[in-house]
């Protein structure tokens, strides 16, 4: 997914330029014009990637599988951690994965939380084991065998008796965000490759961007940053995408 990360990085640079404001084209300053042209080029390239991204197969082809997945909506937990004993907020989703295919399948997950301010956070980043332990204690009655994403292993065995309950945890995100998306990949072996709009290999050919079938969960967020504990998430739906 190195190519995809490159696209996300370029898009982040474009957003940075946008936040600084668009210079006056009439100024005649080459540097300012260069910034604008760069911004337009990157934005156009990212738009092309989004438009070119394929959709997951409606009817899976031979050998393709997708794990049956149920999920809770994001919840928050606040704990006093560290030497300063200050409260820190975390968000988490609980997944139940059931392999209803006719084989044991590989499991290499990647779970990101992205805000509408283009902050992207990978699950587990800055999350200590004590956070998971408190979440496990909170849900002990319904999820007695809850596991962390990092320790679940790389195989999901067949059958409901081998279903896995997982906690996916992120640190608090941008307080100015008005919506978030949760991306969970590794639930399917369906992949696709598209040409990178900018990067070239040594032969001058477009580098490949490799995408995986990914579950996308969307939420609107209401409330003020100062009262994050009272924030309400409005579920906006789910879909499968290639990311």
The pLDDT tens digits of the residues spanning 48-103 come to: 444 457 899 877 888 999 999 999 999 999 999 988 889 999 999 999 999 999 99
CA-nearest of 198, 193, 189 to 208 is 193
Distances in Å between the Cα of 28 and the Cα atoms of 22, 23, 24, 105, 114 are 14, 10, 8, 59, 37
Q: What is the pTM of this model?
A: 0.76
The pLDDT tens digits of the residues spanning 185-220 come to: 999 999 999 998 899 988 999 999 999 999 999 999
pLDDT of residue 8: 42
The pLDDT tens digits of the residues spanning 116-134 come to: 999 999 999 989 999 999 9
Distances in Å between the Cα of 224 and the Cα atoms of 87, 174, 206, 221, 243 are 18, 12, 44, 9, 31
């Amino acid at each position: 997914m190195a190519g995809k990360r490159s696209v996300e990085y370029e898009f982040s640079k474009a957003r940075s330029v946008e936040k600084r404001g668009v210079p006056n084209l009439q100024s005649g300053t080459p540097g300012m014009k260069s910034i604008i042209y760069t911004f337009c080029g990157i934005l156009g390239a990212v738009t092309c990637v989004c438009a070119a991204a394929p959709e997951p197969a409606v009817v899976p082809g031979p050998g393709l599988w997708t794990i049956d997945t149920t999920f809770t909506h994001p919840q928050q937990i606040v704990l006093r951690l560290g030497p300063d004993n200050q409260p820190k907020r975390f968000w988490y989703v609980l997944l139940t994965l059931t392999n209803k295919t006719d084989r044991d399948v590989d499991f290499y997950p990647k779970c990101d939380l992205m805000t509408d301010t283009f902050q992207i956070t990978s699950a587990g980043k800055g999350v200590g084991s004590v956070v998971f332990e408190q979440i496990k204690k909170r849900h002990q009655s319904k999820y007695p065998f809850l596991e962390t994403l990092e320790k679940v292993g790389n195989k999901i065995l067949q059958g409901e008796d081998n279903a896995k309950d997982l906690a996916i945890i992120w640190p608090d995100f941008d307080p100015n965000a008005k919506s978030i998306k949760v991306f969970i990949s590794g639930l399917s072996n369906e992949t696709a490759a598209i040409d990178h709009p900018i990067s070239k290999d040594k032969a001058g050919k477009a580098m490949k961007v490799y995408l995986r079938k990914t579950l996308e969960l969307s939420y609107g967020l209401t409330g003020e940053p100062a009262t994050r504990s009272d924030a309400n998430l409005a579920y906006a739906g789910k879909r499968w995408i290639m990311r």
